[in-house]
Amino acid sequence: MVAFPRPFMSFSHYARQPISRNVFLQPQRRLLSFTCSRYNNSHVDENKNKKKLKNVFQANASRTVRKQKSKEELAKEKFEEQLKSPNRFVRWGAIARSEKFSKGMTKYMIGAYVVFLIYGLFFTKKLFARDKELERLLKKQEEGNANEYEILRVKELRGKLRRRDELKLKEYKKMQEEGVEDFDDVHVQSFDQNKLNEQILPARDTTTFYQGKASEYDKAINMEEKVIFLGKRRKWLMKHCQGDVLEVSCGTGRNIKYLDMSRINSITFLDSSENMMDIAHQKFREKFPKYKKVAFVVGKAENLVDLAEKGKPSKENEKTEQVKYDTIVEAFGLCSHEDPVKALNNFVKLLKPDGRIILLEHGRGQYDFVNKMLDNRAEKRLNTWGCRWNLDLGEVLDDSDLEVVEEKRTHLGTTWCIIAKRKGDLKKKGELGFVEKYLQSSIRKRMESFEKKNDPDSEKQPEPGTPINKS
């Protein structure tokens, strides 16, 4: 007996099947059950039935019967479609999810990590070598034995080369390539931009100029300052004011509106032009009508030390006492001074220990095309505004006695924001750079301990508590 499939299933049976199965398999089933039932009911002999049935099966064998796909199969199909997608983002997404890619990526990541480690090692070694060289040269400089090349090299290692230094160092390096090793008695010609560049006009006394400019100054400069958002820089300048404050070249008092008097003990304004100072005085009184600890001094920054003397000494050989300041600020003054280096040196003399000099100035930029523009219009600028806007301020700062703590430049390098201190005073915590604060010392300690470990001649550290012989 041949076991035929059941000709008809109950409705509930079909209802229980998944829809796709019902839809795809029903026609075949019906055909099969119809054929079977016909043969079942016809009572012809068994062999004939078998043969016919075989034919039916054979005839149906060529028909494709669709099977329901599993979730995994559907996902795989979709993924393969995405791999061939004309949309490059879909295609890249699919590639990124592929097993081949993730295996390859692991290899790349390991490779990149190894490269990073090797690079890091070389970088740290280089940093350490530079640090050691700097330390050695600074020691020489402190002892007063450093030659010009070494002083320039210190600047290079600190990333503080000015244009004239770059040109000088280039000359020294040329000599080094030619085999010169000792530069003790070698002196290279000067490349001072402020002296050699004829388009940087000579300094002059601008008092008369500003006396005449005072009444129109504010109105004329307002627009220019707004265009370059100078208010933000003035705010930066004045936020440093604390304790006893001196503002040099105060002009018409354009910084007064940024003063925070809660941090100030006293304030002195200085300007060489009386007319400019009158306007500043008026502005101050409008804003702080009752403030008492304020002085308005008409005079030149070059004579500041004399101006700051507190009267004459009562006894012979007694030193005159000078007023000293916690903060000395100046905005756009150096470019109009007759002797900017002398002015800065006076600031240093009048600064209290740990005091700060804050400068907001304009001068040469960081790009040649900008400097060319400044040079070409230098004369016009001097005639309109009384200032030398193409001055190399870096040279002025380096020639003075102050030490720059922070130097930031904006407007293509033409606006200089400077924080400076007296030489020898310590930097404040907030003034230390990230590398200086966290990396340099720790790298040095690690490398030194590493060197000691590998050096058999290195001295053994004494046990704690062991007495140390001092010869």
Ligand X SMILES: C[S@@+](CC[C@H](N)C(=O)[O-])C[C@H]1O[C@@H](n2cnc3c(N)ncnc32)[C@H](O)[C@@H]1O
Give contact residues for ligand X (rule: CB under 6 A): 206, 210, 249-251, 254, 270-273, 276, 300-302, 331-333, 336-338, 387
Q: How far is the CB of 347 from ligand X (least distance, A)?
A: 11
Contact 398, 391 (CB under 8 A): no
Q: How far is the CB of 397 from ligand X (least distance, A)?
A: 17
Q: Which residue's CB is nearer to ligand X, number 94 or number 264? A: 264
Q: How far is the CB of 399 from ligand X (least distance, A)?
A: 17
Q: Which residue's CB is nearer to ligand X, number 249 or number 345? A: 249
Contact 236, 360 (CB under 8 A): yes
Whole-Å CA distances, 86 to 81, 95, 96, 101, 173: 10, 13, 16, 19, 58
Q: How far is the CB of 312 from ligand X (least distance, A)?
A: 23
Q: Which residue's CB is nearer to ligand X, number 94 or number 276? A: 276
Q: How many CB atoms lie within 10 A of CB 240?
A: 15
User: Length of the chain, please?
Assistant: 471
Q: Which residue's CB is nearer to ligand X, number 218 or number 425? A: 218
Q: How far is the CB of 262 from ligand X (least distance, A)?
A: 23
Which of these, 56, 104, 259, lies nearest to 48 by C-alpha position?
A: 56
Q: How far is the CB of 387 from ligand X (least distance, A)?
A: 5
Distance of CA 382 to the CA centre of its chain: 34
Q: How far is the CB of 454 from ligand X (least distance, A)?
A: 58
414: exposed, middle or buried (C-beta count within 10 Å: 0-12, 13-18, 19+)? buried
Q: How far is the CB of 298 from ligand X (least distance, A)?
A: 9
Q: How far is the CB of 340 from ligand X (least distance, A)?
A: 9
Helices within 386-430 (DSSP H only) = 393-399
Q: Largest Cα–Cα distance in the chain? A: 152
Position with the least CB separation from ligand X: 251
Q: How far is the CB of 442 from ligand X (least distance, A)?
A: 42
3-state helix, strand, coil in the chain (%, to 5): 55, 10, 35
Phi-psi region of 70 (alpha: psi -120 to 50; beta: other; left: phi over 0): beta
Contact 246, 329 (CB under 8 A): yes
Contact 376, 199 (CB under 8 A): yes
Q: Which two tokens stand for residue 44?
A: 């012809």
Q: Which two tokens stand for residue 299?
A: 């005079």
Distance CA 157, CA 275 (A): 46
Distance CA 143, CA 321 (A): 32
Q: Which residue's CB is nearer to ligand X, number 146 or number 308? A: 308
Q: Which residue's CB is nearer to ligand X, number 272 or number 415? A: 272
Distance CA 182, CA 149 (A): 9
Locate tokens 């100072």: which residue?
Answer: 277
Query: Residue 86 has what DSSP assignment?
Result: S
